[in-house]
Amino acid sequence: MFDTLLRVDESFDIIKREMEVSGTKLAMYYIDGFIQSASMQKLMMHLTSVKDFGDGSDTAAAKFAATSVPSVEVDVTDSVDTMVTMVLAGCTVFFADGFGKNAIIIDSRTYPARNTEEPENDRVMRGSRDGFVETLIFNTALIRRRIRDTAFTVEYVSAGESSRTDMALCYMANKADMDYVAELREKIKNIKTDSLVMGHRSVAEMLIRNRWYNPFPKIRSTERPDAAAASILEGNVVLICDNSPEAMIFPTTIFDFLQETDDYYFPPLTGTYLRVVRHFIFLFTMILTPLWYLLLLHADSLPQWMSFVVPQKPGAIPIIFQLFLTEFALDGLKLASLNTPSVLSNSLSVVGALLLGDFAVQVGLLSVDVIFYMAFVAIANFTQSSYELGYAFKYIRMLLLFLTALFDVWGFIIGILLALVLVATNSTVNGKRNYLYPLIPFNGKALARLFFRLKKE
């Protein structure tokens, strides 16, 4: 029956190793690629010296595991479902005639894994150079290395009927809101899906299913162990998924996305300056082109010192269409760069710069002013590391452009109000915390800490 459940005959990587020692038949099931050959050879050599494998009683397997299995992690079970799950998870399931209905589970697996290198998206000028990888146990160890406190808890959870994805809830038992931890745990257990093979992104979509039209990110993630450890020590909860190099941080607010690890590796004055610059520049990217277009609609009313706002050569097509065209072209270049072989990436950069720069101006498709403002927006978008927040601001910027083109000043005002409504009503797994906290509800000290990097932090 066990062979049928595991489809041993059809799957070449599921190994069934049968032996007979001292007149007792033995069988071990494991997956090739998860097992260290040296460990298995030592185990088999040890088993050949064993004389007694039990009398078939309910306690025989447990007694044998306690006295005769030379492995660090050993368990005993009589559940067939558990046996199947553990084999598929990479463990070895050991049967013997003397164990009765029980089997011994031996965890001697090894994982295909890459080195803990610095993540591409969360680089820092100072600080540690390690990052999360796709192996759950390695990621929890990276956090354990930074938090040596008995209150630090790593709780195992699982979801996905086919993928059976392993996850870890990490929190400080003496700092986290335990009601919130229980709520989050229950949400994960109630996930009804066949697979979570896309890692943390699949889990995020399962936890938050409503208000898909709201572009603002609902869950903050990081690839840095130091950032995850700092969040845990602040009382937050971190969820790590197997097969994903990113950890999710709960709860989260929109202001959390604008915090950077570098702020804490510099002196308070420098950290404060970087925070203020990041907040204002990124906010400016949302309103720059809509505000510029609004000023162009009222060019006759502008004072002399603002004459630089009006393009000298506006181009062959209306400015509003130039702005939208450039928005789409920049995204096209991003997509092309992702699929371009590394040896051709420099060539793509040159061609893209020529197409959106000199050639577009020479043929009259785009004005120099449009290229200048959109180049600033594209570069300033990288002042923060959240890809999702960058696109949320992009959608709001395009909405503002559209409404301003239709309704002039009132369209710009309506667009700003709509953006505020979307932020205020964003649905997240935040428990009692609002997405706009500490602005709503107002907390002066917490709000000040968003902009000023105090020494005690």
Q: Same domain, yes or no, for 309 and 405?
A: yes
Q: Same domain, yes or no, for 286 and 395?
A: yes
Q: Is residue 148 part of a domain?
A: yes
Q: Is residue 228 part of a domain?
A: yes
Residue 234 lies in domain:
136-250
Q: Are 220 and 258 in contact (CB under 8 A)?
A: no
Q: What is the pLDDT of residues 377-433, one digit of tens each?
A: 999 988 888 888 999 999 999 999 999 999 999 999 999 999 999 998 887 777 677
Q: Same domain, yes or no, for 44 and 145?
A: no
Q: Same domain, yes or no, for 228 and 281?
A: no
Q: How far is CA 367 from CA 255, 311, 357, 380, in A?
A: 35, 7, 9, 20
At 96, is the pLDDT very low, low, confident or very high (cuts 50, 70, 90)? very high
Most confident region among 65-74, 189-198, 411-420 by mean pLDDT = 411-420
Q: Same domain, yes or no, for 176 and 41?
A: no
Average pLDDT rounded to a whole number, residues 85-113? 89
DSSP letters spanning 159-184: E-TTT-EEEEEEEETTTS-HHHHHHH
Q: Are 124 and 61 in contact (CB under 8 A)?
A: no
Q: Same domain, yes or no, for 193 and 281?
A: no
- 159 contacts: CB under 8 Å, gap ≥ 6: 165, 167, 188, 189, 191, 193, 196, 203, 206
Average pLDDT rounded to a whole number, residues 256-260? 86
Q: Same domain, yes or no, for 239 and 344?
A: no
Last residue of a domain, one of 68, 91, 106: 106
Last residue of a domain, one of 57, 84, 106: 106
Q: Is residue 127 part of a domain?
A: no
**Lowest mean pLDDT: which of 77-91, 94-108, 118-132, 246-260?**
118-132
Q: Same domain, yes or no, for 281 and 375?
A: yes
Q: Same domain, yes or no, for 271 and 372?
A: yes
> Is pLDDT of 15 > 50?
yes
DSSP letters spanning 111-123: ------PPPSSS-
Write down the pLDDT at residue 297: 93
Q: Same domain, yes or no, for 19 and 160?
A: no
CA 184 from chain centre, in angstroms, equals 17
Q: Same domain, yes or no, for 317 and 392?
A: yes
Q: What is the pLDDT of residues 312-359, one digit of tens each?
A: 888 789 999 999 999 998 888 888 877 777 766 676 676 776 666 776
Q: Is residue 194 part of a domain?
A: yes
Distance, in Å, from the CA atom of 28 to the CA atom of 91, rounded to the nearest integer, reads 10
Distance, in Å, from the CA atom of 66 to the CA atom of 81, rounded to the nearest integer, reads 23
CA 392 from chain centre, in angstroms, equals 17
Q: Where are the alpha helices (DSSP H) in 8-104?
A: 37-47, 60-68, 80-88
Q: Is residue 116 part of a domain?
A: no
Q: Is residue 457 part of a domain?
A: no
In sequence order, the β-bridge partners of residue 168 are 156, 240
Q: Is residue 163 part of a domain?
A: yes
User: Beta strand pairing status for 103-106 and 74-77?
Assistant: antiparallel
CA 72 from chain centre, in angstroms, equals 32
Average pLDDT rounded to a whole number, residues 2-7? 88
Q: Is residue 119 part of a domain?
A: no
How many domains is the chain partitioned into structurally? 3
Q: Same domain, yes or no, for 287 and 382?
A: yes
Backbone angles phi, psi at 326, to 5 degrees: -70, -35
Last residue of a domain, one of 219, 250, 281: 250
